[in-house]
Structure 1
Amino acid sequence: MRSEIHPYAKIMAIADVFDALTSNRAYRGAMLPHEAIEIFFTGSDSHFEPEIIKVFQKS
């Protein structure tokens, strides 16, 4: 099923989740960027493309 998702949508999903995790919310404070990246790697096989995460981490 993941193969049916457009590559641009996969990139946007990572950017959106990173923004959500590193922003203050009413129910929690913002995470540090390295903490958000750890979450990506934790879910890299089931939720996010590992190759895209690696490129995102380098930028």
Structure 2
Amino acid sequence: MLSSEQRHLDAEEELKKVKKICDQAPAGDKKEEAMQFYTAAEDAHKMRMNNKCIAQLAKAREVLK
């Protein structure tokens, strides 16, 4: 089982990956929606709500598929 700190670091790495995907996405509704999920993930990460952060990042990825 991952420690709380490791989970937080994993979420931070995932944030970086999804940010890169969002930045490379073409402008439009899907990018805007993905960025809303990304912003929610950032907020959750700041509050150390790692499960919520990961869930929001998954939603951002799904929008950009």
**TM-score, normalised on structure 1?**
0.40
| Structure showing greater relative contact order (alpha-carbon pairs closer than 8 Å, 6 or more residues apart) | 2
* Greater helix share, structure number: 2
